[in-house]
Amino acid sequence: MPEQSLNPHQRAVVFAVATFDTKAEELAWLALCLRQAMVDVVTVDVSAARDVDAADVRVSEVLAASGLTLSDVQSRDRGGAVTMMSDAFRIWLLQQHAKGRVAGVIGIGGSGGTAIVTAGMRALPVGIPKLMVSTMASGNTAPYIDCSDICLMPSIVDVAGLNTVSRRVLSNASHAMAGMVTHVVAETVARPAIGMTMFGVTTTCVTAVRKSLEDAGFDCLVFHATGTGGRAMEKLVESGMIEGVLDITTTEVADEVVGGILTAGPQRFDVILQKQIPYVMSLGALDMVNFGAKETVPDRFRNRTLHVHNANVTLMRTTAEENRQVANWIAAKLNQSSSAVTLLIPEQGVSAIDMAGQPFHDSAADTVLFDQLESLVEQSELRRIVRFPLHINDPEFAKALVNEFQRLWALRRT
């Protein structure tokens, strides 16, 4: 529908965002390209320095959503101003989303603008088109993307005026966004989506579980338990897109407790428990803590049992004491649950390299983990622990996980 026939404060639009005090010309070109592609677009200013009246949504309006004024931002140093503006834009954008106004978000910027715009993008649910044209779209992009589905496009040249290169890059970005918002993927048959966590060392188990539940009519979403994987799964749980979870590979907790690089943070499990969805857990890959290349392993761990998974990943075997701490951490979380959750324990090992003859086999350390959990978790009719004399990758253990999840799923439906 042509833009002029719609009320700009009611329609669902693509928000085109930049700091207008330095990027107004470039954003105007991008918005023009979007409009020529028959996309409804509203420009938004997130300048931290001054209010510019060229934008459809001025920075004062963005700040007002947080009860702030431009003078509040101007009173901070650059770092503080960017942080304040990032928070304000995130709050404003979530308000627009709650009103059903966000069809997509596209931004342009350098380091400051990228930090501001992507803060808002990360807060939106997965699936809403998000595209950031940035000078920072290389190297470590984790601070900007985290576990969201933001598309980062390198600006190639700095976002500093229009030229042969910048016009083409911004035009490509606008048409990419136009494609995303005008071509919606049609769902065929709606199936309940469930989340699963997997590592290479638990792939055999998770694959068997996935195939069984897909045959049973579920849409299985598998997440690599690398920190961002766990957070991404929980973001989808929070948005209501995942209706049940088989948390087979909870290795991220070991990294959180011991100090590895693949932690999902201290909030792991919280959203799933709060949502009270069918939840089956296991202890996949809790025999290991993850680091980068072997030379990056902290000095305090150099004399530990290490296994070089590949040139960029080094695994460290957890000790009995670390397993005790991991069990304490998990039990504290589970004891907060008020809905059905079941923890299944594979007593013969929790990963492909934690079995007889493998480098991380340590039944004594595993037993501490298992016994401590059983001792600390306050079991009830809804909160259960079940132990099996099986390895995690044993086909019978996969069947047990499937059976328990289906039991909880049926319980949910009654």
Per-residue pLDDT of the chain (414 residues; tens, 9 = 90+): 333 333 444 568 999 999 999 999 999 999 999 999 999 999 999 998 788 788 999 999 999 999 999 999 999 998 999 999 999 999 999 999 999 999 999 999 999 999 999 999 999 998 899 999 999 998 889 899 988 999 999 999 998 889 999 999 999 999 999 999 998 776 666 899 999 999 999 999 999 999 999 999 999 999 999 999 999 999 999 989 999 999 999 999 999 999 999 999 999 999 999 999 999 999 999 999 999 999 999 999 989 999 999 999 999 999 999 999 999 999 999 999 999 999 999 999 999 999 999 999 999 999 999 999 999 999 999 999 999 999 999 999 999 999 999 999 998 865
Q: Which two tokens stand for residue 138?
A: 């290389």
Span 167-195, pLDDT tens digits:
999 999 999 999 999 987 766 668 999 99
Return all residues near 13 (Cβ < 8 A) that are at least 6 apart.
40, 41, 42, 101, 102, 103
Judge if 3-182 and 193-413 fold alike in CATH terms.
yes
CA distance 410 to 7: 46
CA dihedral 85, 91, 97, 98 (to 10 degrees): -160
Q: Give the pLDDT confidence score for residue 160 in this predicted structure.
A: 86
The second-level CATH assignment, the architecture, of 193-413 is 3-Layer(aba) Sandwich (3.40)
Q: Which CATH number fits domain 3-182: 2.40.50.90, 2.120.10.30, 3.40.50.12020, 3.30.1300.30?
A: 3.40.50.12020
In eight-state DSSP terms, residue 414 is -
Domain spans in the chain, listed from the N-terminal domain onward: 3-182, 193-413
CA distance 234 to 240: 10
Return all residues near 324 (Cβ < 8 A) that are at least 6 apart.
368, 369, 372
The 10 Å Cβ neighbour count of residue 303 is 7
Span 230-256, pLDDT tens digits:
999 999 999 899 999 999 999 999 999
Task: For 313-336, give the DSSP string.
Answer: EEEEEPPHHHHHHHHHHHHHHHTT
